[in-house]
Chain A
């Protein structure tokens, strides 16, 4: 519903971003 551009194409979830997968 909003125009936010989801740009972090390489990441799939928050665990990965915090190196916790």
Chain B
């Protein structure tokens, strides 16, 4: 039978759900071992963060698409958390190979890393479900305009999690490497997010990028202080 957009979308959703069936809502034993190997166990901090971000996400989701969809928002978040754990595990495995270490205490206690990774996982879930079809509007790729209407298209998730585009950008490439089952369309979507950040969002007033560039120019002075994130 001929492939239709609906059939293609259904197949993508089935694939995503299928891939995540075995992942579970809790960290796997491998992931839990990585947490235990940390100097400071990140587990409690992660659970608290997930709870807080879950509430924020569900609230903003139902505000955007209507209170009838609050359950759907929660379902999307749950799928996002599964993908977040799955990708985190793969990232840590490849970092263990690369660095020959098992203690990732600094990374796993970095709130920005977790928020960026979860935001990317949720963006994949939302793009798979074609969440933008909930409402018209958002970023118009054809003419680069933005409408005032709120919807769930990228960069919506950055606003929900108060996340700097610059930090979201950092996880995209590693995310794609860690999750080889992502469909071509989703990879293309993440590339679109990447391009949007690089060409537009990262250069908005107040972007952390300007401060980082300033530090880079100041060079020596910045190095004398406690080494800032370069």
Contacts and interface: CB of A to CB of B under 8 A. Distances in A.
Interface of A: 1-4, 6-8, 11-15, 17-21
Nearest to B180: A1
A14 B187 CA distance: 18
A4 B187 CA distance: 7
Contacts of B214: none
10 contacts: A2-B184, A4-B176, A4-B187, A6-B173, A7-B173, A14-B95, A14-B107, A14-B113, A20-B113, A21-B99
Interface of B: 91, 94-95, 98-99, 104, 106-107, 110, 112-113, 170-171, 173-174, 176-177, 180, 182, 184, 187, 190-191, 229-230
Contact of A3 (B94, B174, B177, B184): B184
B107 A20 contact: yes
A19 B112 CA distance: 11
Contacts of B98: 12-13
Contacts of B104: 15, 20
B99 A13 contact: yes
Nearest to A7: B173
B102 to A, nearest CB: 12
Given A3-B184, A13-B99, A17-B170, 11 more contacts: A2-B182, A3-B187, A4-B187, A6-B173, A13-B98, A14-B91, A14-B170, A15-B95, A15-B99, A15-B106, A19-B230
Q: Chain B binding site: helix, strand, loop or mixed by DSSP?
A: helix
A18 to B, nearest CB: 5
Nearest to B98: A13
A6 B194 CA distance: 12
B191 to A, nearest CB: 6
Contacts of B106: 15, 20
B107 A15 contact: yes
A2 B176 CA distance: 10
B79 to A, nearest CB: 21
Contact of A13 (B94, B112, B229): B94
Contact of A2 (B112, B187, B229): B187
Contacts of B112: 18
Nearest to B191: A4
B229 A19 contact: yes
